[in-house]
């Protein structure tokens, strides 16, 4: 079974969704037979690639929020994350363009480090308050999961995985994905949002049941 996951590194619900899906996976008997593939999605693709800006100011402008509403929203998000064992520190964070971070996830896939890379990026951004935008920071984060710093710099310099990032985003557009996280189970069933683990577990079971029924049918 294959599960495709579209997400963005700066999406707080994406990290929560990852944890909830992992909890479902841990409870699923067929977990060792599941291939997980992460795909790029950009919530703010127009963000400049050469600078960052205040995340809070961006959200207030985008959604017409007051500072008090932003504080309350972040507090709720932090509590939700804590329920999943995640330690969010959202106050004072910056935002920017995530294309280079997504390129690293594609590079890491070549070394079977895809999950480790996206996990490191999430933790750096939401827990440690580190940049996931500038190349020096990305090189250090990639080094943390075992990627070669020189190769990482070369990849980012030449934009080696830019076409792959574009393809991910194009597929999302054609499928009709407008928000993340978004999960597709074996190209059959789609789930939008950071669903509860029980919902993910039900989806995994449904796909496994379909497989079982297909195998039990007599061949023509």
At 216, is the pLDDT very low, low, confident or very high (cuts 50, 70, 90)? low
Our measurement of the distance from residue 176's CA atom to the centroid of its chain's CA atoms, rounded to an integer in Å, reads 17
Give pLDDT, residue 214: 66
Q: Could you give the domains of the chain?
A: 2-216 (3.40.30.10)
User: What is the average per-residue pLDDT within 7-33?
Assistant: 96
DSSP 15-71: HHHHHHHHHHHHH-TTGGG-EEEEEE--S-TTS-SS--EEHHHHHHHHHT--HHHHH
Query: What is the per-residue pLDDT across 25-35, written as a single tens digit (0 to 9) for each?
Result: 999 998 999 99
* pLDDT of 70 above 90: yes
At 8, is the pLDDT very low, low, confident or very high (cuts 50, 70, 90)? very high
Note whether 149 and 143 are within 8 A (CB): yes
Give pLDDT, residue 135: 95
* pLDDT of 219 above 60: no
Give pLDDT, residue 210: 79
Give pLDDT, residue 215: 63
C-alpha–C-alpha distance, residues 132 and 3, integer Å: 25
For residue 106, the 8-state DSSP code is H
- Please state the φ and ψ torsions of residue 93, each to the nearest 5 degrees: -75, 155
92-to-47, 57, 119, 124 alpha-carbon distances in Å: 18, 10, 21, 14
Least confident of 13-22, 74-83, 201-210, 211-220: 211-220
Query: What is the per-residue pLDDT across 163-201, written as a single tens digit (0 to 9) for each?
Result: 999 999 999 999 999 999 999 999 989 999 999 999 999
């Amino acid at each position: 079974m294959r599960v495709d996951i579209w997400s963005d590194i700066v999406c707080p619900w994406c990290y929560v969704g990852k944890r909830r899906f992992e909890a479902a996976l841990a409870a699923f008997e067929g977990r060792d037979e599941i291939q997980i593939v992460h795909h790029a999605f950009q919530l703010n693709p127009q963000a400049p690639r050469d600078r960052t800006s205040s995340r809070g100011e961006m959200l207030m402008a985008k959604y017409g929020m007051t500072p008090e509403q932003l504080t309350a929203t972040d507090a709720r998000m932090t509590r939700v994350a804590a329920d999943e064992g995640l330690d969010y520190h959202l106050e004072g964070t910056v935002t920017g363009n995530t294309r280079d971070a997504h390129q690293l996830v594609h590079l890491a896939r070549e070394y079977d480090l895809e999950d480790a890379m996206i996990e490191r990026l999430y933790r750096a951004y939401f827990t440690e308050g580190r940049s996931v935008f500038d190349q020096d920071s990305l090189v250090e984060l990639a080094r943390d999961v075992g990627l070669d710093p020189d190769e990482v710099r070369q990849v980012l310099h030449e934009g080696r995985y830019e076409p792959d990032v574009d393809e991910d985003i194009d597929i999302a557009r054609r499928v009709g994905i407008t928000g993340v996280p978004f999960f597709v189970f074996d190209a059959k069933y789609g789930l939008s949002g950071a669903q509860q683990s029980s919902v993910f577990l039900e989806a995994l079971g449904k796909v496994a049941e379909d497989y079982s029924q297909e195998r039990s049918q007599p061949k023509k």
